[in-house]
Chain A
Amino acid sequence: MRNSRSERAGYLFILPWFLGLLIFTLGPMLFSLVLSFSKWDIITGIGSIEFVGLDNFKAIFHDELFYQSLKVTFIFALVSVPLYQIVSILIALLLNMRTRGMKFFRLIYFMPSIIPAVAVSMMWIMIFNPEYGILNRALAWFGIEGPAWLQDPNYALGALIVMGIWGVGNTIIIYLSGLQGVPEELYEAAQLDGAGAFRRFMSVTVPMISPTIFFNLIMGIIGGFQYFTQAFVMTNGGPLNSTLFYNLYLYNKAFVSFEMGYASALSWILFAIILIFTLIVIRSSSMWVYYNGDDDRD
Chain B
Amino acid sequence: MIINRHKWSIGRLITFLVLIAGAAIVLVPLLWTVSTSLKSPAEVFQDSFIPKVWHWDNYKNAVTAVPFFLFLKNTLIILVPVMIGTVFSSALCAYGFARFNFKGKRSLFLVLLATMMLPGQVTMIPMFIIFKEAGWVDTFLPLIIPSFFGGGAFNIFLIRQFMRGIPKDLDEAAFMDGASRWSIFTRIMLPLSKPPLIAVAIFTFMGVWNDFQGPLIYLNTNTKYTLALGLSMFKGLYNVEWNMLMAATVLIMLPAIIVFFFLQKYFIEGISLSSAMKG
Contact = CB atoms under 8 A, between A and B. Distances in A.
Interface of A: 1-2, 6-7, 9-14, 16-21, 23-25, 27-29, 31-32, 35, 42, 46, 91, 94-95, 97-99, 105-112, 114-119, 121-127, 131-132, 134, 137, 166, 170, 173-174, 176-178, 184, 187-188, 191, 211-212, 214-216, 222, 225-226, 228-229, 232-233, 247, 250-251, 254-255, 260, 263-264, 267-268, 270-271, 274-275, 278, 291-292
A197 to B, nearest CB: 9
Given A29-B122, A267-B122, A114 B256 contact: yes
Contacts of B12: 97, 99
Given A31-B126, A31-B130, A94-B15, 9 more contacts: A13-B96, A112-B26, A118-B228, A174-B274, A188-B2, A232-B216, A267-B125, A270-B122, A271-B122
Contacts of B97: 14
B56 interface: no
Interface string B175-188: 10000010001000
Interface residues of B, number: 100
B92 A94 contact: no
Nearest to B217: A255
A212 B156 CA distance: 21
B253 interface: yes
30 contacts: A6-B101, A10-B105, A11-B96, A13-B92, A13-B96, A13-B181, A14-B96, A17-B96, A17-B150, A18-B108, A29-B118, A31-B126, A46-B129, A110-B267, A112-B30, A117-B212, A121-B232, A122-B248, A122-B249, A123-B29, A123-B249, A132-B44, A166-B29, A177-B275, A184-B2, A212-B275, A233-B212, A254-B128, A264-B126, A292-B279
Contacts of B123: 24-25, 28-29, 32
Given A123-B249, A247-B121, A108 B126 contact: no
Interface in B107-133: 108, 111-112, 115, 117-130, 132-133
A28 B126 contact: yes
Given A16-B92, A126-B242, A118 B26 contact: no
A10 B101 contact: yes
A232 B25 CA distance: 25
A267 B119 contact: yes
Nearest to B89: A16
Given A94-B18, A111-B260, A127 B126 contact: no
Nearest to B49: A134
Given A13-B93, A251-B213, A105 B1 contact: no
Contacts, number: 268
Contacts of A291: 278-279
Nearest to A8: B102
B201 interface: no
A106 B271 CA distance: 14
B256 to A, nearest CB: 5
Contact of A20 (B23, B126, B149, B172): B149
A42 B129 CA distance: 8
A187 B3 CA distance: 12
B191 interface: no
Interface residue SS majority, chain B = helix
The 10 residue pairs across chains A and B that have the minimum distance between CB atoms: A20-B149, A10-B100, A13-B96, A17-B150, A177-B272, A28-B126, A211-B278, A14-B96, A31-B126, A10-B102
B22 interface: yes
A20 B22 contact: no
B47 A114 contact: no
A252 B148 CA distance: 29
Contacts of A46: 129, 133
Contacts of A251: 213
Contacts of A31: 126, 129-130
Nearest to B269: A177
A108 B26 CA distance: 7
Contacts of A119: 231, 249, 252-253
